[in-house]
Amino acid sequence: MLRTLFRNAEVVLPSEVRRGSVLIEDGKILDIDAGENVQADSVVDCTGLHLLPGVIDDQVHFREPGLTHKEDLSTASHACAAGGVTTFLEMPNTKPPAITVEGVRAKETIAAKKSLVNYGFYIGATPDNAAELAVAKDVPGIKIFIGSSTGNLLVDEQTALERIFAETTLPICAHCEDETTVRANAARLAGTTDVADHSRIRDEKAAMIATKRATDLARRHQHRFHVLHVSTAAELVYLQEANPYLTAEICVHHLLFNVDDYPRLGTRIQMNPSIKTAADNEGLWRALLDGTVQVIATDHAPHTLEEKSQSYPQSPSGLPAVENSLALILNRVVAGECSLPQVVSWMADAPARIWGIVGKGRIAPGYDADLVLVDLEKTATIRDADQHTKSRWSPWDGQSLTGWPVSTWVGGKQVWSGETGFDESHRGAKPLFDHARGGFWATDEGIGIA
C-alpha cells in the first residue's frame, strides 16, 4: 500500500480553508488531518500552496471518434491534467454519435487506453431512441439538443421530448435554444458576414423559449434536469424558485466574454449559445454567488485555428477551455470576488452530486485522491503556443492571470506537474455513477463514497 503525504497544505474544504496535512493511500484519501509523524512513502511539501479536489468538467466535446483532427482523448486529457481537471464528462455528438449503450461503451474503451484523467460519456437522445435511453445504465446521463446539432441529434418535436422525460430515469441535460427562433432570425439576417450577428441570430429569445420549455418538462414529469450553459440573465427566472429536479451551469466564456468583445476577438468567441451582453455577465455571476446556478463548466469544443479563421458564417462555433478554466476562476478569487470553497463547490462538488459520481468532488476520508495543488501567487500569461489541446489556441491568448494549478493527481498518482510535465504511463478510470443517491438536492453532505 503506497502512501503519499501532502504536508502543510491550505486544504480547501466545503465550508472553509484549513491548514493541514492530507494522507492518501492506494488512490484514496485516508486522513485530512494527518499527524507530523505519520509514515508515508513520499511527501509533497505544500507550503504556500492550496490543495483542492480536482475539477469535474461536466460538459466537454473531445471529438473522438470522427473529428480527431480537432482533438482526441489523449490531447484533451493532457489539457485537462494541466488545467487541474481530473474528471470530464463528454457529449455524444461525435462521429458516429453515441446514441446507443454500445456507442458509449466504444468511447469508454478508447478512453481507457488514451486518457490521463477520469472519464464519462453521456448517451445522446434522438427523436426515436427513447427505448435505448430507458435501458442505459452506468453513464452520467442523457443529453438532448433542443436546438441545432449534427446528424439526427436534434430533438425539437414536443411528442419526442415528452416521451424521453416520461419513459427514462437517468438525469437529463440539454442544449436549450429554440430552433424555430434561430431559423427565423437567420433568415432575417441572411447574407450577413458579421460575426456579431451570431448573437442576434442566437438571441435571448431563443434561449428563453427553450429553457422554459425544458424546465417545464422537468417539473411536470418530476425528472432530474440540468440546464447546460445558461447564457442570459433572463433565463434565471426559470431557476430562481428552488426545485428538487432542476440544476444549472454557466460556462466560463459566458461569464467572461460579451458582445463588446467581437471587434477584438471575432470568430474566436463564436459559440452556441452565443455570447451575450455585459449585463448578462453580471447577472450570471450573481446567480453563481447566490446559488441560483450550481456549476461552472467549459463546453470545451475545439476547432482548428484555420477553421475558426474562416469568414462568418462559414466559421464553426466552439472554443477550447479546459486547461484555463480553473485559472480563470482562481483569478477572481485573488481579486476578492469569490472564495475558494465556492470555486470548489461550483467546479468539483456540485457536478459530482448532480451526476452521481461516487467518491469525488471533496477532500474527505474515503474519497478518491483526485487533487490539484494551486499557487494563488503565481502570475502567468495564456499563450496560444503553450496550449496542450490539439487545436493549440485559446480565446484568452495574451491574458495574464494570477492563481494557477501547479500539479494534478488522479487516483493518487501525479499525472502532471508544471516542473516535470506529464506522467505518460498513467491512465484515468471510469467512475461509478450512482443516480439512486438522488442528485444535487439530496446530497448536501457530498455524494459520499462507495
Catalytic residue list: 299
Separation of alpha carbons 38 and 5, rounded Å: 8
- Residue 273 and residue 177 in contact, taking contact as beta carbons nearer than 8 Å: yes
- Going by C-alpha positions, the residue among 400, 419, 397 that lies closest to residue 408 is 419
Task: Give the burial string for 42-81 (b: 16+ CB within 10 Å, else e).
Answer: eebebeebbbbbbbbbbbbbbbbeebbebbbbbbbbbbbb
Alpha-carbon span 285 to 273, nearest angstrom: 17
Rounded to whole angstroms, the Cα distance separating 176 from 147 reads 6
The residue among 119, 123, 140 whose CA lies nearest residue 131 is 123
Q: What is the C-alpha separation between 176 and 190, in angstroms, rounded?
A: 23
d(CA 365, CA 301) in angstroms, rounded, equals: 35
Q: Under a CB-based contact definition with an 8 Å cutoff, are residues 354 and 439 in contact?
A: yes
363/339 Cα distance (integer angstroms)? 16
Bond from prior residue into 313 cis (ω within 30 degrees of 0): yes
Distance CA 169, CA 137 (A): 10
